Amino acid sequence: MSAQSSMNGFVEDLAIQLAGHGFERGEEGRVFRRFSLQGDALILEVQPSNHSSRRGLVFYINIGLVHDSVWTRCCRSCCCCSTGTSC
């Protein structure tokens, strides 16, 4: 089995597990996101490595937490932010 086939199988299995925890799969296929009711996002990405071989699959799991505060949501809806002028 090739490293690419192993990676694809791993990502497919991971997608099933993460879906059970409320994660949505992105168009890229290796990025998963879960949003809170407050707008925060937990992002998980499976990044393949060039060091994989037929004997072993090497990859990284990148995790990001994006905090969406009330101030940020308010600012985005503010007319000055949408027009680029200063408040």
Each residue's pLDDT expressed in tens, for the chain with a length of 87 residues: 677 788 889 999 999 999 999 999 998 899 999 999 888 899 999 998 888 877 888 999 999 998 876 656 666 566 555 555 544
Residue whose pair of structure tokens reads 């499976």 in the numeric block: 46
Q: For 55-62, which contacts have Cβ atoms below 8 Å and span 24 or more sequence positions?
A: 57/3, 57/6, 57/7, 57/10, 59/7, 59/10
CB 58 within 8 A of CB 46: no
Asked if residue 59 is part of any domain, the answer here is yes
Asked if residue 86 is part of any domain, the answer here is no
CB 45 within 8 A of CB 31: yes
Asked if residue 87 is part of any domain, the answer here is no
Asked if residue 43 is part of any domain, the answer here is yes
Asked if residue 38 is part of any domain, the answer here is yes
Question: Which range marks the domain in which residue 25 is found?
Answer: 3-78
Asked if residue 84 is part of any domain, the answer here is no
The pTM (predicted TM-score) of the whole model is: 0.72
Asked if residue 85 is part of any domain, the answer here is no
Which of 5, 54, 57, 10 minimizes the C-alpha distance to 32?
Answer: 10
Asked if residue 65 is part of any domain, the answer here is yes
**Total domains, the chain:** 1
